[in-house]
Amino acid sequence: MVADIDAASPRRSAYRDLFAGRGLRVLFALGVLGRTPSGMIVLLIVLVLQQTTGGYSVGGQVSGALALGLGVLTPFKARLVDRRGGRPVLVLSGVCHALALGLLWPLAALGAPVFVLILTGLVIGATMPPTGVVMRSVWSRLLPDERRRRAAFAAESLAAQSNLLVGPLLVSALTVTVGAGAGLLCCALLTLTSALALGFSSRLAVLRPEPGGSRMHWAGALRARAVWLSVPGGFALFAAITAVEIAAAGQAVEHSAAWAAGWLIAGFAVGGIGGGVAWGWREWPGRPSFQLVAMHAFFAVVVGMLVFELPLPVVAVLMFVAGVVAPPAMTAQVSVLDAAVSRTVLTESFGWLTSARQAGSAAAAALAGAAIDALGPRGGWLVAVGAVAAATAFSVGLRWTDGPAEESARDNAGEEAAEGAAA
């Protein structure tokens, strides 16, 4: 085993072990850079189209088309990674995505028909590089040590959550300095640069296609029972998270303190960052599937308490506590798939999970809003409780999908991939 890959030590924190190898910090930074535009694009599109069309409806339609293209195509781009390798998929999608994104502003400025703008938004989403799923698959193959893999998955979840906070700030800076349209072009350039840099990274050699991968069954990852349970579980978890944030805003308005909505949601995010850091820092007892059941159940209990009429300070504390388990639950979902799914369809399985999470957020936004209109903030909390209860039920089934023999086989395969990358 090459020293820079197998450098884990129980005396060091898992994060220090994670980045102990040569080039791993750069690899992680490229992954973070590649996902930064995803926290900026929707807001920039809305701003650009508001300036060129005079309203927000077209921006909403284009953003919806982008989400549709992204959600539907992500698993199939991930399948291509399993069958053809990461480099061609990242490079080709990065080039096409940058071109489509760069065209949107000129098209809007020239008064293109709405259907053309919507079609462009669909292409922007469909061609967005699958950086997140690629990075998870790379870590799975590159790190045979389970402790370091868990730290890597936790770091990826933290990077994704932090991007939701950093993205809007970067949009504000770009809008003030160069304008929303030029900011969209900057996003296109950043996406292209990061996709090329990550695509040509030597570490991506671990994503070389498995023998016989091009002749895989048409159903791909959907043949795995773990995927069938993880996909609705991911949908339900992200539906619960979105419903919690919307219900918190409704709770603040109900108390005639709309200003507090941002603080409640920020507290949830801060709790999540703290929980995510702690989860990847050390080893926790139990298998990932058992941990996932426990975290979902805890989340359900805390959100269930929010159904009752409570003062805002108590709501703020419970929001923080609920947030603590959100990123660890996301990480545990990925860890369960990593342990249970064959390497030949691993990237695709991560792609299905990602799409399900996006769909869950979109569905909860509509459902929680309607429930709050009908029942007040309690309606939003009830939607969140129902969603996390469903996530708990699906995670119970996952307890029988990550047997020790499967994990051992995957670890051995990971060692071979790591040696091949370093050779």
Tens digit of each residue's pLDDT (9 = 90 or more) over 322-363:
999 888 898 888 888 888 888 888 889 999 999 999 899 888
Of 382 and 412, more confident: 382
Q: Is the pLDDT of residue 404 over 70?
A: no
- pTM of this structure: 0.82
Q: What is the pLDDT of residue 226?
A: 84
For residue 405, the Cα-to-chain-centroid distance in whole angstroms is 28
How far is Cα 405 from Cα 377, in angstroms, rounded to an integer? 47
pLDDT above 80 for 286: no
Higher pLDDT, 269 or 121: 121
Identify the weakest region by mean pLDDT among 256-260, 298-302, 402-406.
402-406
391 CB-near residues (< 8 Å, 6+ apart): 233, 236, 237, 240, 296, 299, 329
pLDDT band at 11 (very low <50, low <70, confident <90, very high): low
- Would you give the end-to-end CA distance of the chain in angstroms? 11
CA 11 → CA 20, 97, 164, distances in Å? 13, 44, 33
pLDDT tens digits along 100-129:
999 999 999 998 999 999 999 999 999 999
Is it the case that residue 298 has pLDDT exceeding 90?
yes
Residue 186 phi/psi, 5° resolution?
A: -60, -40
Tokens matching residue 404: 């020790």
pLDDT of residue 301: 94
Cβ(71)–Cβ(126) under 8 Å?
A: no
Q: Which residues contact 133 (CB under 8 A, 6 or more apart)?
A: 74, 78, 81, 347, 350, 351, 354
Return the top range by mean pLDDT from 29-38, 198-207, 381-390, 392-401.
Answer: 381-390
Query: Does residue 216 have a pLDDT over 90?
Result: no
Confidence grade of residue 146 (pLDDT, cut at 50, 70, 90): confident
Mean pLDDT of 55-78: 88
**What's the average model confidence in pLDDT over 197-216?**
75
d(CA 386, CA 243): 10
pLDDT band, very low/low/confident/very high, at 259 (cuts 50, 70, 90): confident
CB under 8 Å to 57, separation ≥6 — which residues? none
Q: What's the confidence (pLDDT) of residue 241?
A: 92
Distances (CA, A) of 420 to 24, 208, 214, 408, 413: 16, 10, 20, 19, 11
Q: How many CB atoms lie within 10 A of CB 106?
A: 11
70-74, 210-214, 287-291: which is most confident: 70-74
Mean pLDDT for all residues in the chain: 83
* Residue 258 clears pLDDT 80, i.e. is over it: no
Check whether 417 has a pLDDT greater than 70.
no
- pLDDT score of 419 more than 70: no
Tell me the pLDDT band of 400, cut-offs 50, 70 and 90: low
pLDDT given for residue 405 in this prediction:
35
Identify the band that residue 215 occupies on the pLDDT scale cut at 50, 70 and 90. low
CA distance 238 to 246: 12
165 or 104: which carries more pLDDT confidence? Answer: 104
Please report the pLDDT score of residue 160 as a whole number: 79
> Could you tell me what percent of the chain has a pLDDT over 70?
88
pLDDT at residue 415 greater than cutoff 60: no
Instruction: State which amino acid sits at residue 343.
Output: R
- Give the mean pLDDT of 157-179: 81
The stretch 277-297 carries a mean pLDDT of 82
* Pairwise CA distance, residues 329 & 153, whole Å: 11
Q: Is residue 52 over pLDDT 90?
A: no
The encoded tokens of residue 63 equal: 């953003």
What's the pLDDT tens digit per position in 218-231? 667 788 888 888 89
Q: What is the pLDDT of residue 303?
A: 93
- Between 288 and 61, the higher pLDDT residue: 61
**C-alpha 10, offset from chain centre:** 29
